[in-house]
Structure 1
Amino acid sequence: MALRAFEKTDYDLLIRWIDSEELNYQWGGPNFDFPLDSNQLDKHCAKPEVISFVFVHEGSSAGYVELFRLSESKLRVCRVFISNEFRGQGIAKRMLEQLIELAQIEHNAQVLSLAVFERNTVAKNCYESLGFQVTSHQSGTRSFDGEAWDLLLMEKRL
């Protein structure tokens, strides 16, 4: 199991994984239109503060995750995704453990933050098991298909 850099050759993989409008919103928030496409990924990945990865498990691409540099010592964990065939196996936790270590060692992070939709209890529980704590709750800032999706902001000091 290892994180490796996300490259243009991986775009089709991620586009296949994000296969519905709701999943696109859950994964990317309001930043990406559905269907996801190479042009959107090109623009996003070209930003110097975006550091994106594919998680490889037993030779197969199992997930995607990003770090987003907020400052010299603070990074944000973004767009965490595990493909359907690898869900429910603890892969997300292992991917995030590696990401946390990488953020600390290679990027000198002292604080990691993230945002998760409150309704995504599986993800929230995973983040809490890794030491992230809810720092604030936002209501009314995000909605999908006419339904409000509350957002939890979480943080972990390294």
Structure 2
Amino acid sequence: MDIRLFDLDKDFAIIKNWITDERTNMLWCANRIQYPMSKTIFKDFLKEISDKYGDIPYVAVDDADKPAGFYAYSVNEATKEGMLKFVVVDPDKRGKGIAREMLGRVVATALADENVQAVQLNVFSVNEPARKCYQKIGFVEKNVTKEAVNFGDETWDRINMLIKC
């Protein structure tokens, strides 16, 4: 597996197909991106989060350079924390260690950056597989926002997780 910058023209159609329904969209981006997303909407969204937070989108790719995972990452210089956002793995490849390897590389890169003391991410309480994956990497719960979002008749807590470098 390699990590490279996300290429809208090359990667969008593949990643778009991973977000198969409104619930998956909510779990992935908290509905910050309209479902179903279009290339233009996603491009505008990536520009917005880049301009506002410095987020850079990446893909984890297989040997054929086909995306297997996606995430955005930025560093908050004031808090010296990296922030992982919008983590998603190809549904056909889930449970095969892709996320663990992909995020392990992010953490390893953060460890090498003297300006980063920790990396954090958020996950919804109902996304137990992702939460367990993050715990296996070494992320621990920092805090929980109870009843952070509603989806249909469900109410989800948002769990902020942290790994110290």
Contact 2:60/2:68 (8 A) holds in 1? yes
SS of equivalent to 1:139: strand
Contact 1:2/1:98 (8 A) holds in 2? no
**Code of the aligned partner of 1:151:** R
Work out the number of aligned pairs and report it.
Answer: 158
Describe how 1:99-110 pairs up with structure 2 within 5 A. 99-105=106-112, 108-110=115-117
Describe how 1:1-158 pairs up with structure 2 within 5 A. 1-9=1-9, 10-46=11-47, 47-48=50-51, 49-59=54-64, 60-71=66-77, 73-105=80-112, 108-158=115-165
Contact 2:89/2:99 (8 A) holds in 1? yes
Contact 2:2/2:62 (8 A) holds in 1? yes
- Provide the identity percentage: 25
- Aligned counterparts of 2:106 and 2:98: Cα–Cα separation in 1: 12
Higher alpha-carbon deviation: 124-133 or 64-73:
64-73
- Aligned counterparts of 1:80 and 1:43: Cα–Cα separation in 2: 18
RMSD: 1.7
Moved over 4 A (4+): none
Contact 1:18/1:24 (8 A) holds in 2? yes
- Aligned counterparts of 1:8 and 1:93: Cα–Cα separation in 2: 24
Ranges in structure 1 where 5+ consecutive residues have no aligned partner: none
* TM-aligned CA deviation for residue 70 of structure 1: 2.9
1:70-92 Cα offsets, whole Å, 9 max, x none, are 33521211111111221111111
SS of equivalent to 2:31: helix
1:3-49 Cα offsets, whole Å, 9 max, x none, are 10001111222212112111111111131111111222212222241
What is the TM-score with the length of structure 2 in the denominator? 0.88
Contact 2:121/2:161 (8 A) holds in 1? yes
Higher alpha-carbon deviation: 87-96 or 58-67:
58-67
SS of equivalent to 2:56: strand
- Aligned counterparts of 2:15 and 2:26: Cα–Cα separation in 1: 14
* TM-aligned CA deviation for residue 106 of structure 1: 5.6
1:66-116 Cα offsets, whole Å, 9 max, x none, are 113333521211111111221111111001111112234368422111111
